[in-house]
A and B are shown apart, each in its own frame.
Chain A
């Protein structure tokens, strides 16, 4: 069994003259919670639709769970919660899950038991007999999440799963993703909410203008810490020495800034400064948030979507 659940090479999608996705090449490992980040219009939803076979690529290739994109039997092993989930609103939540379960090839008592378990998990047991048109946006999203998990999928695609949810609902989604990870299920998460991604994902890819511009591992890797120092005297040899502790070093207005991997290097750096006779007036550190990385990668030309 391949270690990769998603593997794409040069996937491209054009709609007439518009390039929705320029070139998607990425790999997602089995059991990984993979965050796919980017501004509106970057090509996130298009990528997801290509992976699910809802769109045909203009160019490029890809495999999902080892099968070509859109492979029909493979879809029985996938879960999918689309953005702005819409259903036949004349169905009740229980009927919705029953129809989708049957389409997934599930039957009888096993399907019924699975439906009850999921309704309880997404806290819709009380409302399960009501038509979906009577549901709030958050309740609909939770029904959609239950629908995405019906077949105990090996890989789940979640497109903005916390959209429309209140803090309790968002917490529930985070917990569900945590449970999926614990079960070894791979999750492909499209989200704007960087805090959510940071709290749930092992690995993230940043997409801009239809291309993955950077990937970042969030699990098992030391965190990037931004350090600010006020030191005197500042010499070229001091800056050169400090640069060995991290990267992206700058010196402006008497403040030295650099990034280091993990907080462990901070006391070492302080000792090094003191030992070489520098006067250390201030040393501040802050964990670099995903939002800071996102804003830096998207650049000044990025506009609100």
Chain B
């Protein structure tokens, strides 16, 4: 356990020393700043429209806020895949891993230590960008989405699904192949989720089943759909006027599946790394 935490510390130190944290901080701040400027002008124009009912104004601001959270979610996904994509494969290829693995450390401790370090960086990043977006909505427009405490953990779980795949893939695949594979799976989930939504709206059970199957293969997009569903006002959910209002709402079983998916993927990565020659 102690050696696991040493490797977690090393991963956090790496993120700081290689300016990964700085880059994330600067880009995240730029994203939030841009969102804040846009939100300010939209809010100002809506406020000037005297005949616009307050409820409609709030709905429009909520929609914009969901767009901001969608952007934050997308950035978190990119970070989740790219941050650890070479942490195992890169160190194996460069030979750094030989020196580490020759120490009295379990290979599982290496993988788990790195996973934990990267997960902490990812959680911090998610808190930064989503916190920024929520702060902008509250401070400028006076709007706060409902059930943020349910939505944000789901977004974090989505990030962890991708982060875990990216780390576990590195135990078997080269860096580029790993990155392409994880993004490919994310694309599959994205298309699958939309197939499910449109299939539901069109009343086509085949399309819906196809989408559900894709979500089982890769549950990331379902988690976002559920997070978005939680973080919208009930009226927005019911009207299904925006792309963030799912017609087919993923249920708790999908969350359990995603959590199990993380654990199973991590275990597979551990086993593969355990058996791999270095």
Interface residues of A (CB under 8 A from B): 15, 49, 52-56, 72-76, 78, 80, 82, 84-88, 90-91, 95, 99-100, 102-105, 131, 144, 147
Contact B99 A100 (CB under 8 A): yes
Contact A72 B106 (CB under 8 A): yes
Q: Taking CB as reference atom, which chain B residue is nearest A95?
A: B13
14 pairs from A and B in contact (CB 8 Å cutoff): A55-B278, A56-B277, A72-B106, A73-B104, A75-B103, A85-B99, A88-B10, A88-B96, A95-B13, A99-B10, A102-B3, A103-B103, A104-B103, A105-B104
Contact B105 A103 (CB under 8 A): yes
Q: Taking CB as reference atom, which chain A residue is nearest B16?
A: A90
Mask, B250-278, CB within 8 Å of A = 1, is 00000000000000000000000001011
Interface residues of B (CB under 8 A from A): 3, 6, 10, 13-14, 17-18, 94-96, 98-106, 275, 277-278
Q: Write out the residue numbers on chain A whose beta carbons fall within 8 Å of the beta carbon of B105.
A: 72, 103
Q: Taking CB as reference atom, which chain A residue is nearest B102?
A: A80
What CA separation (Å) do A63 and B209 show in the bound complex? 56
Contact A54 B104 (CB under 8 A): no
Contact B6 A103 (CB under 8 A): yes
What CA separation (Å) do A72 and B6 show in the bound complex? 17
**Interface contact tally, CB-CB below 8 A:** 70
Give me 13 other A-B pairs in contact (C-beta within 8 A), A99-B6, A99-B10 excluded: A56-B275, A56-B277, A75-B102, A76-B104, A78-B102, A80-B98, A82-B99, A84-B95, A85-B95, A88-B10, A90-B14, A90-B17, A95-B13
Most chain B Cβ neighbours within 10 Å, of A78, A86, A91: A86
* Main secondary structure on B side of the interface with A: helix
Q: Write out the residue numbers on chain B whose beta carbons fall within 8 Å of the beta carbon of A75.
A: 102-104
Given A54-B278, A84-B95, A99-B6, CB of A90 within 8 Å of CB of B102 = no
Closest approach, in angstroms, between the C-beta of A152 and any C-beta of chain B? 15
Contact A54 B102 (CB under 8 A): yes
Contact B3 A103 (CB under 8 A): yes
Contact A52 B104 (CB under 8 A): no
Q: Write out the residue numbers on chain B whose beta carbons fall within 8 Å of the beta carbon of A87.
A: 96, 99
Q: Write out the residue numbers on chain A whose beta carbons fall within 8 Å of the beta carbon of B17.
A: 90-91, 131
Contact B99 A147 (CB under 8 A): yes
Contact B98 A54 (CB under 8 A): yes
Given A103-B6, A103-B100, CB of A86 within 8 Å of CB of B106 = no
Q: Taking CB as reference atom, which chain A residue is nearest B9?
A: A99
Among A74, A82, A90, A99, contact of B98 (Cβ-Cβ < 8 Å): A82
Q: Write out the residue numbers on chain B whose beta carbons fall within 8 Å of the beta carbon of A144.
A: 99
What CA separation (Å) do A76 and B3 show in the bound complex? 13
What CA separation (Å) do A53 and B275 show in the bound complex? 11
Q: Write out the residue numbers on chain B whose beta carbons fall within 8 Å of the beta carbon of A53.
A: 101-102
What CA separation (Å) do A56 and B102 show in the bound complex? 13
Q: Write out the residue numbers on chain A whose beta carbons fall within 8 Å of the beta carbon of B13.
A: 91, 95
Q: Taking CB as reference atom, which chain B residue is nearest A150?
A: B103
What CA separation (Å) do A76 and B95 show in the bound complex? 20
Q: Taking CB as reference atom, which chain A residue is nearest B17?
A: A90
Contact B10 A104 (CB under 8 A): no
Q: Write out the residue numbers on chain A whose beta carbons fall within 8 Å of the beta carbon of B14.
A: 88, 90
Contact B104 A80 (CB under 8 A): no
Closest approach, in angstroms, between the C-beta of A123 and any C-beta of chain B? 21
What CA separation (Å) do A54 and B275 show in the bound complex? 10
Q: Write out the residue numbers on chain A whose beta carbons fall within 8 Å of the beta carbon of B102.
A: 52-54, 75, 78, 80, 82
